[in-house]
Copies of this chain bind each other. A is one copy, B any other.
Amino acid sequence: MSTSPLEPMVRTLSYRAVLDGDDREAILSLPCTVKMVERLHYLVRERDRATQTCVMLSGYSVRSKLVGDGSRQIVAIHMKGDTVDLHNSLLGIADHSVQTLVSSKVGMIPRDEIVRIAEKRPQVGRAMWLETLADASLTREWVANIGRRDARSRLAHLFCEFAVRMKVAGLADENQFELPMTQEQLADATGLTSVHVNRTIRVMESEGLIRRLGRRAVAYDDWRKLAEVGDFDTNYLHLNTSEPALAWKG
């Protein structure tokens, strides 16, 4: 059972509520089809009727929405352990697409099984509910980021968020992180154009805010400075797991 592919899901949900052995066992025993998918593969398309919930087991994916003029907006980035598609699968018709950024391993779980485990194992249901609430908090921060910060702050904020989430997921070192996105994808995530992302990143680099390690990784020497420029505060990530978990126990 410790070799179940759904280990990352247990780890992520454990951040949200106290799960006992039976809870964990129930998650690990969920029927799950594991697939390797290539880069830029669509896991869900807007308007699809989703019947499966998708869990990231390795790699990265983005949720995005198409806009009338043909452009797109990325609304979230997912990494190992994230339950990507609870929203679409429970609400019926997908309001957004999900696409991998790199070749990734994903687990597909039938929607009904999710509903069932949420009922049978209340703590698991709570953890999933809290996970969706934390996800909503993250989206709200994105609204503020895109609506009220300039290009430099937006990118700095996105980098800070990435750095912290990667560290929490055990995927990043102390002073650097993988950034599996092209500049065009960064533009779609920040509400900018790829040209302006390029210029802004170069300015940030020349200021010593960040260093680029190859094409798909970023390093920072002064976290405080980066966080200040990005107006970054971890509160919205709701990482202080002990609080809600305790509250939900009674």
Interface residues of A (CB under 8 A from B): 47, 63, 65, 67-69, 71-73, 75-76, 86-87, 90-93, 95-96, 111-112, 115, 119, 122, 125, 129-130, 132-137, 139-144, 146-149, 153, 190-191, 231, 235-236, 238, 240, 243-244, 247-248, 250
Complex alpha-carbon distance, A129 and B125, angstroms: 10
Q: Is the CB of A139 within 8 A of B141?
A: no
Ordered by A's residue number, 21 sampled pairs between the chains whose C-beta atoms are within 8 Å are: A47-B235, A75-B140, A86-B133, A91-B133, A91-B134, A91-B137, A91-B238, A91-B244, A92-B240, A92-B243, A92-B244, A93-B238, A93-B240, A95-B137, A95-B141, A95-B235, A112-B250, A115-B248, A129-B132, A139-B139, A148-B191
* A156 nearest CB across to chain B (Å): 11
* A113 nearest CB across to chain B (Å): 12
Q: Report B-chain residues with C-beta under 8 Å of the C-beta of A92.
A: 238, 240, 243-244, 247
Complex alpha-carbon distance, A153 and B68, angstroms: 10
Complex alpha-carbon distance, A135 and B90, angstroms: 13
Q: Report B-chain residues with C-beta under 8 Å of the C-beta of A243.
A: 92-93
Q: Report B-chain residues with C-beta under 8 Å of the C-beta of A250.
A: 112
Complex alpha-carbon distance, A13 and B106, angstroms: 33
- Besides A119-B122, A132-B136, A147-B190, 15 more A-B contacts (Cβ < 8 Å) are A65-B140, A67-B149, A67-B231, A69-B148, A71-B148, A86-B133, A87-B136, A87-B137, A91-B134, A92-B238, A92-B240, A92-B243, A95-B140, A115-B248, A143-B143
